Amino acid sequence: MNRIDRYITRTAIAPFFFGTATVIFLFLMQFLIQTLDKLVGKGLENFVIFQLITYSIAWMVIFAVPLGVLFASLMAFGNLSANHEVTIIKASGGSLIRMMLPLLIVAGFLSYGLYLYNNYVVPETNHKLVLLRYDIQRKKPTFAIEPGQFSDAIDGYIILARQVDTVNNILHFVTIYDNKTSRISRTINAETCEMRFSEDMTKLVFHLQNGEIHQSEKNNMNNYRLIDFTDYTLYSNTSGFGFERSEIGTLGRSDREMRIEDMRASVNEIKVQIANNQTRLDLLLEEHLNFLLGTVSDSNEEKNDNNSRENVRNQNDATVVLQNNNGQNINRQNNRTLRNQLVNQDGLAPQRGRNFGSTSDRNLSQFIFSMKNIEANIKNSRERINRYEVEIQKKYAMPFACIVFILIGCPLGIITRGGNLGVSAGITLVFFMIYWACLITGEKLADRLVIDPFTGMWFGNIVLGTIGIILTVKANNETLAFSDMRIIRFFKARKRKS
């Protein structure tokens, strides 16, 4: 690395840290605005709140570092262009690509470091954040309920509390809508409701005082009862708060709490389950096919014997009398015989035909049910694999964005010819919105199996990388004029006004 390389790198260091810190600050402010009112005044210790904020900052770094790289490249090359240093370097035989090389090398190291951070640090902080929220909800069961708002955080219940005392875990003037059963509708009104967990942490206990229960059948609203009570206790499973005791006890993790190696292992296990289900499906199809072939063969073998007896049955049942318009009585036995005769006219044995239809219908229903069940398991397994693959590709794609933003920031910095803070921040914001939209859209489409995970997660890098390569080539060849880019002309106009 020569002196010019060190100079360019040193020029970009300060803007990088400033841009990264600014993005983290903006994300942190958004997080505090959304959650601070839910944390303060809930009886939580300051250290617990500090832990929540610290664990939440971890994922912000993943977005902040690439944006810091883009901002730094814009500022560094903007200053070089404003001081005519780019012209001097080109006059000395240099090129834009050669000037970008030290920043590309640094961005490569940043990408690798960010990959390690995203793969080993972020999953642990996310898991600790889940555990911390679990501990808060275990100690403060009213934490998820906001005063004056309907809450469905508890499975099977909708709760409306006018006042919430999170310190003592008491709800005042509460209304609980019980939707656990599809037949009976219950609405409970009470002056106070104390919420706590059972000793084994498997039940959530509601101790209600001074209230009434309105109970009715959904299909019969006339069956209505009104029950007054002084003390009433209601129980619910703890699964309603979004966690299971078994999952926490066994350190169960979601895809965002796992490393790439762990997700790969989970994908391999799910693929084994898919193979087993596919084998079951093949065996089920083969078994049902054998059943159909065997039944049809037996029916054909007996068909000739039944036809040979048809004439005898027709002669024995010739005395059957149908009910006429005058309402004459019919002999039930003869009527059954007549139905058998009508079946025999089609060439089928009456008894055999009835058993064949009943057995086939029953077997077909069972076959369809089993097949749908297996196919649903296979589809669910593939969706789980897809979610893991999406998260794996995201851990690779987001760090690589550091290199992509170098390709965009350096030529744009030269074109803007200013290194102005406002222009650089505006361009950074525009490309961040483009990258964010591509990332979110790709993730949604990949989760829904519309596109493959690689395309979904790398779509933003591919689009912006293509734009960056075109800008770099044109700026290096000096074929991209400032007036060719309207968005930059817009920022230049704003700069002149200021």
Residue pLDDT, tens place only, 161-181: 888 887 777 888 899 888 777
- Mean pLDDT per block of 10 residues along the chain (498 residues) reads 84 92 91 76 73 89 92 89 82 83 93 94 88 70 73 78 81 85 82 81 82 83 83 74 40 79 91 89 82 58 48 43 40 44 41 47 75 86 89 93 92 75 82 89 86 91 92 77 48 56
Pairing of strands 170-178, 150-151: unpaired
- The 3 state secondary structure assigned to the chain is CCHHHHHHHHHHHHHHHHHHHHHHHHHHHHHHHHHHHHHCCCCCCHHHHHHHHHHHHHHHHHHHHHHHHHHHHHHHHHHHHHCCHHHHHHHCCCCHHHHHHHHHHHHHHHHHHHHHHHHHHHHHHHHHHHHHHHHHHHHCHHHHCCCCCEECCCCCEEEEEEEEECCCCEEEEEEEEECCCCCEEEEEEEEEEEEEECCCCCEEEEEEEEEEEEEEECCCCCCEEEEEEEEEEEEEEHHHHCCCHHHHHCCCCCHHHCCHHHHHHHHHHHHHHHHHHHHHHHHHHHHHHHHHHHHHHHHHHHHHHHHHCHHHHHHHCCCCCCCCCCCCCCCHHHHHHHHHHHHHCCCCCHHHHHHHHHHHHHHHHHHHHHHHHHHHHHHHHHHHHHHHHHHHHHHHHHHHHHHHHHHHHHHHHHHHCCCCHHHHHHHHHHHHHHHHHHHHHHHHHHHCCCCCHHHHHHHHHHHHHHHHHHHHHHHHCCCCCHHHCHHHHHHHHHHHHC
Tell which residue, 163, 224, 156, 202, has the closest CA to residue 41: 163
Query: What does the pLDDT read at residue 484?
Result: 45
Structure token digits, residue 346: 């089609």
Residues in CB range of 154: below 8 A, 6 or more apart: 204, 236, 240, 241
The reported pLDDT for the residue numbered 220 is 73
**Can you tell me the distance from the alpha carbon of 21 to that of 61, in angstroms, rounded to the nearest whole number?**
9
Tell me the whole-structure pTM to 2 decimals.
0.66
Show me where the domains of the chain are located. 3-140+393-427+463-497, 154-241, 264-384
> What is the structure's pLDDT at 380?
86
Which pLDDT does position 301 carry in this prediction? 45
Cβ atoms of 19 and 68 within 8 Å: the answer is yes
Q: Find the angle CA(44)-CA(45)-CA(47) to the nearest 5 degrees.
A: 130
